[in-house]
Structure 1
């Protein structure tokens, strides 16, 4: 009888431990997907939005604390975000500051990518500085592209879109892209880094924008949004 009683207690303790672990894991998941940096530390906060986010209630985004929106506009030499024009109009109607993002493709010539961007994004002095999303590596390019060529072409692209917008661009650099090409040290532009929950330090110098939660649950739409803060 003593052995049976001891086995029952072990099973109960095991069950209780599993329950606590499940509750703890559920809370951690909920907290991660609802967390944003404190407003006292980062007064200016906003979102990055594209067609993949579906329909967006811009008034609701404004209500939950978005001060600005960066909108996915173009990618590579030919791709364009189908929601850009509507998002631009709706975000402005909600009185958010607005900027445009281009997803850079190291496999495509800089001139063609710049042409794509300037076709999509209006020349408007009220817009925020353009952002260049640097995440794609040149490893899978049909024609081999050296690391030096990636930096050279990127510089050409930056110069061309800055001529169009009249403002210095922001480099949204992923950890992988920075480790491979070292653009934070090579190109003197403000940085936008990405890391959920914890402040990123992989660029080796201070950042201006930080995607602090890449999947923030919110009341503004059915999909999570990318929540971004500005260094005060």
Structure 2
């Protein structure tokens, strides 16, 4: 299958700075399914960081990521507060399914929040089995965000703390990426943290959209050679419609660039 690659989505100088953007307009006001939120986010933070240099608030497009640890959300209220996208945990390893996936998935969809599913990678199971687990769980619905692969070490896992060599990590991960791209018709986004990025030289994976965690500085200050599209800047966010703390994320570009990225990268 010929998919729309990230480089094929480049459109103009501003898009080139972001790395992967292409195509449509921005809407304002209330969001119907498939539209784009244009209001500036009304979020708080239980443990705000004293940002210097470029701040998350310099980016106009923000979203959240959720898993079973979050209570059910009032997605409509969250959308009205400026949640422009949501990444929702679907699976982990070869057979684990997130117990709250369906509830979060359906809630975001009903509120018109652009949504994507993510898989938490497990280093003690074959990549192909993990890809099949994700494909079984996540519906292929036109208009949804591309799939996401969450890559990070998990030293607290009760069953697998193995850290394979970097070359092994990349070769196995590539199996997952290729299988999932063939199924969904879009290349996955890769989420990671600073230590994993550096240890495994993830930039060697090639032309992927990266979603980077950096809670104390802009990703450009923490990730060498990084071309990022999403930035996870807090795990202590406070969002109307969500009870308790929640992860906050920013998109790299303007609202117009967000609309172009959506048009190019939706399933």
Q: Pick the TM interval, shorter chain.
A: 0.7 to 0.9
- Give unpaired runs (5+ residues) of structure 1: 1-28
Answer yes or no: is 1:196 the counterpart of 2:215: yes
SS in 2 for 1:151: helix
Superposed, which structure 2 residues align to 1:175-190 within 5 Å?
175-190=194-209
In structure 1, the residue matched to 2:226 is 205
Poorly superposed stretches of 4+, deviation over 4 Å: 137-144
| Residue 92 (structure 1) shift | 1.1
* Partners of 1:174 and 1:193 within 8 A in 2: yes
* Partners of 1:133 and 1:171 within 8 A in 2: yes
In structure 2, the residue matched to 1:25 is none
| Residue 60 (structure 1) shift | 1.8
CA displacement 1:98-125 (0-9 Å, x = unmatched): 1011111122101110011001101122
Q: Which has the higher contact order (CA 8 A, sep 6+)?
A: 2
State the alpha-carbon separation in 1 of the partners of residues 134 and 92 from structure 2. Answer: 8
State the alpha-carbon separation in 2 of the partners of residues 127 and 226 from structure 1. Answer: 20
TM-score (norm 1): 0.79
SS in 2 for 1:88: helix
Kindly tell me: are residues 59 and 134 of structure 1, through their superposed partners in 2, closer, same or farther at Cα, counting changes over 3 Å? same
| Residue 141 (structure 1) shift | 4.8
Kindly tell me: are residues 144 and 130 of structure 1, through their superposed partners in 2, closer, same or farther at Cα, counting changes over 3 Å? closer
TM-score (norm 2): 0.69
State the alpha-carbon separation in 2 of the partners of residues 231 and 78 from structure 1. Answer: 33
State the alpha-carbon separation in 1 of the partners of residues 242 and 118 from structure 2. Answer: 21
Answer yes or no: is 1:90 the counterpart of 2:107: yes
State the alpha-carbon separation in 2 of the partners of residues 84 and 64 from structure 1. Answer: 22
Kindly tell me: are residues 81 and 137 of structure 1, through their superposed partners in 2, closer, same or farther at Cα, counting changes over 3 Å? closer
State the alpha-carbon separation in 2 of the partners of residues 115 and 61 from structure 1. Answer: 32
State the superposition RMSD in angstroms: 2.6
Kindly tell me: are residues 179 and 137 of structure 1, through their superposed partners in 2, closer, same or farther at Cα, counting changes over 3 Å? farther
Flag the structure with higher helix content: 1
* Partners of 2:46 and 2:245 within 8 A in 1: no
Q: Is the radius of gyration larger for structure 1 or structure 2?
A: 1
| Residue 70 (structure 1) shift | 0.6
